[in-house]
Amino acid sequence: MAADNAKMFKKLAVVAAGMFAFGYALVPIYKHICEVTGINILALGEKEVPGTSRAQPNSQVDTTRTITVEFDANARGPWEFKPAQRSVQVHPGELATVMYEFRNVQNRRMSAQAIPSYAPHQAASHFNKVECFCFKQYTLEPGESKQWPVAFVIDPKLSKDVTTITLSYTFFEVGSQVPPAPQGASLVTGGGRAS
């Protein structure tokens, strides 16, 4: 009986070792089969191709020109709001990130949202924001400070005449009264002209 158990144990040990070896060899075997048959595109992409590097640069970036992006911040209320840096130089197609700083200097909780504007106006359709604090509203406690990112890419199709873009944000309190129009603006009321 003991001899039968020892014999069975040896057989099971050999089977377990064989299964481990097969599992260990399965990855290179699988890659080789995929390379030969062309079934798995991922395995083909791992091959070294002469004359190329593994990390391909972003072919969408236009390194032949540089655009200056200036940042502006306007607060319509008693709080502090400003960009961490006033401008950056980017190539069209290149991802860039800039932080904006905000501080609630009031003694009450407030909710606010930023609204962007662009100059020149034609840049708006070519200024693609990947991440922006302007996408949603924020609530800050009294004295609370935050930093929020704006990650953007300028479309290489932007006219070559445009060398500077100004991104301006106006921060409005949500749920408060609509801020008054800037002084000096002429208004048209009742079909007549303002003097």
What DSSP string describes 79-123?
Answer: SEEEESSSEEEE-TT-EEEEEEEEE--SSS-EEEEEEEEEESGGG
- C-beta contacts of 84-88 below 8 A and 24+ residues apart: 84/147
pLDDT at residue number 44: 40
pLDDT at residue number 110: 86
Mean pLDDT for 74-90 is: 86
Q: What is the pLDDT of residues 106-129, one digit of tens each?
A: 888 888 888 888 888 888 888 888
Q: How far apart are the C-alpha atoms of 87 and 90, rounded to whole Å? A: 10
Mean pLDDT for 49-75 is: 71
Q: What is the pLDDT of residues 86-107, one digit of tens each?
A: 999 999 999 999 998 888 888 8
pTM over 0.75: no
Split at pLDDT 50, 70, 90, the class of 43 is: very low
Q: What is the pLDDT of residues 129-185, one digit of tens each?
A: 888 888 888 888 888 888 888 999 999 888 888 899 998 888 888 775 444 444 543
For residues 71 and 43, which has the higher predicted lDDT (pLDDT)? 71
Superfamily name and number for 67-173: Ctag/Cox11 (2.60.370.10)
> Count H helices, E strands: the chain?
2, 9
* Residue pair 70/113 in contact by the 8 Å Cβ criterion: no
Boundaries of every domain in the chain: 2-45, 67-173
Tokens standing for residue 48 = 């070294």
pLDDT at residue number 66: 92
Split at pLDDT 50, 70, 90, the class of 35 is: low
pLDDT at 186 over 70: no
pLDDT at residue number 115: 86
Tokens standing for residue 30 = 């699988």
Residue type, 19: M
Q: Buried b vs exposed e over 105-139: b needs ≥16 C-beta within 10 Å?
A: eeeeebebbbeeebeeeebeebbeeeebbbeeebe
For residues 102 and 35, which has the higher predicted lDDT (pLDDT)? 102
pLDDT at residue number 47: 45
